[in-house]
Amino acid sequence: MSRGLSLPARLPTAGIQLGSGSAVVAVLAVLGFTASPYYAHILIVTFFAVVLAVSYRLLLHTREASFCHGTFYMFGAYTTALLTVRQDWPFWYTVPLAGLIAAASALVIGLPSLRTTGPYFFLITFGFLVVVGSVAENATSLTGGFSGVLGIGQPSGIHSIRGFYFATLILAVITVIVFAVFDRSRWGLELIALGDARDLAQATGTARLANMLGAFVVGAFFAGIAGSFYASYITFVSPNSFTLWTSIYVLIYVVVGGSRYLVGAVVGAALLTLFPVWLGWSANLEAVFAAGLTLAIILVAPRGITVELADRLGSFFAPKDRGPAVVAADVTPGEVAAAVEHVAPEGKAAVSGQPLLEVRDVKIQFGGVRALGGVTLDVKPRESVGVIGPNGAGKTTLFNCISGFARPDHGDVIFEGRSMVGMTPHRIARLGLVRTFQASVVFERLSVYQNLLVGCRPPTSNPLRNAVVPIRAAAHETSRADELVEHFGLERWAGAAAGSVPYGIRKILGVAICVAARPRLLCLDEPMAGLHGAEVDHMQHVLAGLAQQHGIALMLIEHRMPVVMSLCDRVVVLSFGEVLAEGTPEAVRADPRVIEAYLGEETGHARATA
Partner 1 sequence: MEIAQVLVNGISYAASLALVAIGLTIVFGVLRVVNFAHGALFMLGAYATYYITASFKWNYFLAIIGAALVVGLISAFAAAALFSRYRDLLLEGAVMSIALALLITNLGWLQFSAVPRTVKSPIDDVIDIGGVRVLVQRLFIIVLTAALLVGLQFFVKRSRMGRAMRAVQQDPHAARLQGIKVDQVVVLTFAIGGVLAGIAGALVSPTQTLQPSMGEQPLLLAFVVIILGGMGSIPGAVLASLVLGLTQSTTSTYWTPQAATWLSFSLVIAVLAIRPKGLLGHE
Residues interacting with partner 1, by CB under 8 A? 65, 112-113, 115-116, 118-120, 122-124, 126-128, 130-131, 134-135, 138, 241, 248, 251-252, 255, 284-285, 287-288, 290-292, 294-295, 298-299, 302
CB of 301 to partner 1, least distance (A): 11
Of 38 and 245, which has the nearer Cβ to partner 1?
Answer: 245
Nearest-approach distance from CB 24 to partner 1, in angstroms: 26
Amino acid identity for residue 566 in this structure: S
**Element housing 374 (H / E):** strand 369-379
In the Cβ-directed half-sphere of 487, how many Cα atoms lie within 13 Å?
19
DSSP 8-state code for residue 145 = G
User: What size, in residues, is the chain?
Assistant: 610
Q: Of 73 and 128, which has the nearer Cβ to partner 1?
A: 128
What does the DSSP assignment read for 216-275? HHHHHHHHHHHHHHHHHHHSEE--TTHHHHHHHHHHHHHHHH-SSSHHHHHHHHHHHHHH
Q: How far, in Å, CA of 193 to CA of 327, rounded? A: 25
Q: Work out how close the CB of 134 gets to partner 1 at its nearest, in angstroms, rounded to a whole number.
A: 6
Nearest-approach distance from CB 112 to partner 1, in angstroms: 5
14 φ, ψ (degrees, to nearest 5):
-55, -35
Q: Which is nearer to partner 1, 23 or 296 (CB)?
A: 296
Nearer to partner 1, 1 or 291 (CB): 291
Closer residue to partner 1 (CB): 122 or 229: 122
Q: Which is nearer to partner 1, 65 or 543 (CB)?
A: 65
The least distance separating partner 1 from the CB of residue 302, rounded to whole angstroms, comes to 6
Query: Is the Cβ–Cβ distance between 55 and 179 less than 8 Å?
Result: yes
Please, what is the minimum distance in Å from the beta carbon of residue 11 to partner 1? 22
Whether the ω angle into residue 119 lies within 30 degrees of 0, i.e. cis, is: no
Distance between CA atoms of residues 47 and 68, nearest Å: 20
Min. distance of Cβ 185 from partner 1 in angstroms?
24
CA distances from 216 to 202, 227, 375 (A): 18, 16, 40
Helices 69-86 and 242-257: crossing angle in degrees, nearest 10, is: 140
CA dist 467 and 283 (Å) reads 40
Q: What is the dihedral of CA 415, 418, 420, 426, to 10 degrees?
A: -80
Least Å distance, CB 138 to partner 1, is 6
Nearer to partner 1, 252 or 546 (CB): 252
Nearest distance from C-beta of residue 366 to partner 1, angstroms: 13
State which residue, 54 or 362, has the beta carbon closest to partner 1: 54
Q: How many helices (H) and strands (E) does the chain have?
A: 27, 12
Nearer to partner 1, 296 or 606 (CB): 296
